[in-house]
Amino acid sequence: MTRRTYENSEIRVQWDSDFCIHTGMCIRFGDGVFDSSRRPWVELDRADVDTIVSAIEACPTGALRYERMDGNPGEVAPRTTTIVPFPNGPLFVRGEVEVRDRDGEIFVASPRVALCRCGHSQNQPFCDLSHRDSGFRDHAAAPAQNREDAMSPDDISPENL
């Protein structure tokens, strides 16, 4: 596990290797701020703070987070939580996400997470790219049948899992 913090007078950026699955979204949108071939790999003075924020919010895993130091508000989670299965990969979740342990205690609260669906991650319930080596393949679409029988999150308890 590696955690790094980078900051300047406008923004503090935190990166957590436990959640990073190297999608490269930060590199594509960061105007040179993020570059995995460079050390340090984050140089905040290469772009304006709004560009940095856009790149971080493009990260689907929550490995990158930020705090604005310039008085502007930080990231706001989408009002509606969405879960999008990535082809042959994780579930990308956006919204007011709380991942809890078996005792109901929050161990991750984030507006973005990538959850494992292959079952092979060593970082359960989060994706660690194990799906690549496991040969995991998904189906193109979720079946529409029996959706009315689906359980509400309020109905879930250890007894009915």
137 in helix, strand or coil?
Answer: coil
Single out the residue of 35, 38, 34, 76 nearest to residue 51, CA to CA: 34
Mean pLDDT of the region 132-140: 87
The rounded distance, in Å, linking the Cα atoms of 20 and 56 is: 12
Single out the residue of 95, 121, 123 nearest to residue 109, CA to CA: 95
Pair of tokens at residue 132: 């690549």
Pair of tokens at residue 5: 């913090």
Indicate if the pLDDT at residue 148 is higher than 90: no
Residue where the block lists tokens 């703070």: 49
Indicate if the pLDDT at residue 15 is higher than 60: yes
Order of strands across the sheet with 11-16? Answer: 3-7, 11-16, 64-68
Task: Supply the pTM of this predicted model.
Answer: 0.82
The rounded distance, in Å, linking the Cα atoms of 127 and 121 is: 6
- Contact of 119 with 126, CB cutoff 8 Å: no
| Number of CB atoms found within 10 A of residue 57's CB | 19
pLDDT for the residue 138: 86
Q: Tell me whether residue 5 is exposed, middle or buried, using C-beta atoms within 10 angstroms of its C-beta: 0 to 12, 13 to 18, 19 or more.
A: exposed
24 in helix, strand or coil?
Answer: coil
CATH classification code of 3-68: 3.30.70.20
Q: How confident is the model at residue 125 (pLDDT cuts 50, 70, 90)?
A: very high
- Domain 76-138, CATH homologous superfamily name and number: CDGSH iron-sulfur domain, mitoNEET-type (3.40.5.90)
Tell me the per-residue pLDDT of 17-68, one tens digit each, with 9 for 90 and over: 999 999 999 999 999 999 999 999 999 999 999 999 999 999 999 999 999 9
Tell me the per-residue pLDDT of 59-110, one tens digit each, with 9 for 90 and over: 999 999 999 999 999 999 999 999 999 999 999 999 999 999 999 999 999 9
pLDDT for the residue 139: 72
- Which residue ranges make up each domain of the chain? 3-68, 76-138
